[in-house]
Amino acid sequence: MKSIIPMFLGVMMSVFAIAQNPFTELVDKKADEIEAQVITWRRHFHQNPELSNREFETGKYIAKYMKELGLEVQTNVAHTGVVAILKGGKPGPVVALRADIDGLPVEERVDLPFKSTVKTEFLGKKVGVMHACGHDTHISMLMGAATILTGMKADLKGTVKFIFQPAEEGAPQGEEGGAELMVKEGVLKNPDAEVVFGLHISSGIPVGEIHFKKGSFMAAQDRFKIKVKGAQAHGSAPWMGVDPIVTSAQIIMGLQTIVSRQMPLTKQAAVITVGKIEGGVRNNIIPEEVTMIGTIRTLDLKMQDDIHKKMKRTVENIAESAGATAELTIQRGYPVTSNDPDLTGQMTPTLQRVAGIENVVLTRAVTGAEDFSFFAREIPGMFMFLGGKDTSPDAKSPPSHHTPDFFVDEKGMKLGVRTLVNLTLDYMEKRN
């Protein structure tokens, strides 16, 4: 028992030291005052969503406000992104805060007074556009954090980079974009950011809670395409050809056994999903070719490489056994989003102070992907989920992200603003 006491006291003294941040009460007061404005911003962005690499008006709106705050503003970063720099009155580290700004090709069904009715073209089709993943709240929370931190400029012990990032949902086909392009263009340089923080609102986490974990937190995301070639024949005489549809069905089932029977799932989760299959023109013709596309999700680099090898073997061998040929193409996408263990450990007491210890949840890794991973691959990063689920007794089960019925409770945003501001201030305090 005696050996535990010094460690316990050390942890408590660390928490106590962070709790003494002289700006805690001021930040809470300012967050209360700006909450209505943050909600107004959110509703504006929600009503005016734009797709990846097409966030022209969104970027202009953000840049205009950042300039009104008196910040140094860079526009057209990675096509449509905005970066604003706040130089504090005292020397210290450069802290980067990031929010994504793009919407999705989803037509909104939620009955809101600020519902999106925007239509545009996507992959040759007329589609609705919606902030179906909460990026409108991310923009607004970061604008709120920028407002509070700018008001504290004289006492700020360092510099803050506010990164408003386009194309988190993926750049259009044939284009570069998102965090990867921002990094390539040097967004973390001049001045050089020391750490980066980000958060993502969640419709499935109750308002008031923050979920996170050290290390691998969100999955790597790869895209794949499979072309299966057979021999065309009349549908009444399949033996006269080679059926690429049946072969494709066997390939799909074979891919599932890679995860269920060939991967050490007690180590990390993995997913292979075929999202689209296309082939044939009419009911009585066996086509010559079938195309499939899908996604791979992994949380471990070795497992990622193994799955790629096993997929090639499975696809080609099943096709050969049917007398067909198959070509697999894998495009590596976002890497694993990994929270730096040291940074996460240092900043956990901040989350506990801001949200309350009982509301800070150490969670499991998820198979969703985030291109925040490109920032966190360059410098120590910390990413977390913020509660956006309505907790009222009559609230319905929350719809999933990326769906027409996606909905988040705006009451969750104030905690997001407070979290971003306090992480910045506490990190600067630790480094001075």
Nearest-angstrom CA–CA distance, 132 and 388: 13
Q: Which residue in 50, 180, 410, 429 is the catalytic one?
A: 410
Nearest-angstrom CA–CA distance, 14 and 12: 5
Q: Which helix (H) or strand (E) holds 204?
A: strand 195-206
User: What pLDDT is attached to residue 141?
Assistant: 99
Give 361's contacts (C-beta < 8 A, 6+ positions apart).
209, 210, 211, 212
How sure is the predictor about 394, in pLDDT bands with cuts at 50, 70 and 90? confident
226 in Cβ contact with 255 (< 8 Å): no
Q: Is the pLDDT of residue 145 over 90?
A: yes
Q: Tell me the average pLDDT across 372-384.
A: 98
Q: Is the pLDDT of residue 66 over 80?
A: yes
Q: Select from 187, 154, 168, 155 the least CA-distant residue to 50.
A: 168
Query: Reduced to 3 states, what is the DSSP secondary structure of residue 4?
Result: helix
Torsion of CA 199, 200, 201, 202, to 10 degrees: -130
- And the tokens for 209? 């809670």
Could you write out the DSSP letters of every residue in 338-368?
Answer: EE-HHHHHHHHHHHHHHH-GGGEEE---BS-
- What are the sequence ranges of the domains in the chain? 4-219+336-431, 220-334
Q: Is the pLDDT of residue 385 over 90?
A: yes
Do you find a cis peptide bond into 341, omega within 30 degrees of 0? Answer: no
* The architecture CATH gives domain 4-219+336-431: 3-Layer(aba) Sandwich (3.40)
User: What pLDDT is attached to residue 108?
Assistant: 98
334 is catalytic: yes
Q: Is the pLDDT of residue 67 over 50?
A: yes
Give me the long-range contacts of 271-274 (CB less than 8 A, separation at least 24).
271/219, 271/295, 271/296, 271/297, 271/298, 271/367, 272/296, 272/307, 272/311, 273/297
How sure is the predictor about 20, in pLDDT bands with cuts at 50, 70 and 90? low
Give 416's contacts (C-beta < 8 A, 6+ positions apart).
137, 138, 141, 199, 201, 386
User: Do the domains 4-219+336-431 and 220-334 sit in the same CATH topology, yes or no?
Assistant: no
User: How is the chain split among helix, strand and coil, in percent rounded to 5?
Assistant: 40, 30, 30
How sure is the predictor about 203, in pLDDT bands with cuts at 50, 70 and 90? very high
Q: What is the pLDDT of residues 84-109, one digit of tens each?
A: 999 999 999 999 999 999 999 999 99
Q: Is the pLDDT of residue 11 over 80?
A: no
How sure is the predictor about 197, in pLDDT bands with cuts at 50, 70 and 90? very high
User: What pLDDT is attached to residue 1?
Assistant: 39
Q: Tell me the average pLDDT across 406-416.
A: 98
Which class would CATH give 220-334? Answer: alpha beta
Q: What is the pLDDT of residues 340-372, one digit of tens each?
A: 999 999 999 999 999 999 999 999 999 999 999
427 is catalytic: no
User: What pLDDT is attached to residue 6?
Assistant: 41
From residue 432, give the alpha-carbon distance in Å to each of 91, 124, 195: 8, 54, 15
How sure is the predictor about 173, in pLDDT bands with cuts at 50, 70 and 90? confident
Q: What is the pLDDT of residues 251-297, one digit of tens each?
A: 999 999 999 999 999 999 999 999 999 999 999 999 999 999 999 99
pTM here is 0.91
Q: Which residue in 55, 334, 370, 429 is the catalytic one?
A: 334
Q: What is the pLDDT of residues 114-135, one digit of tens each?
A: 999 999 999 899 999 999 999 9
E runs forming strands in 280-418? 285-286, 289-298, 325-334, 337-339, 360-362, 381-389
How sure is the predictor about 395, in pLDDT bands with cuts at 50, 70 and 90? confident
User: What pLDDT is attached to residue 19?
Assistant: 52
Percent share of the chain, pLDDT over 70:
95
Query: Across the chain, what does the average pLDDT equal?
Result: 95
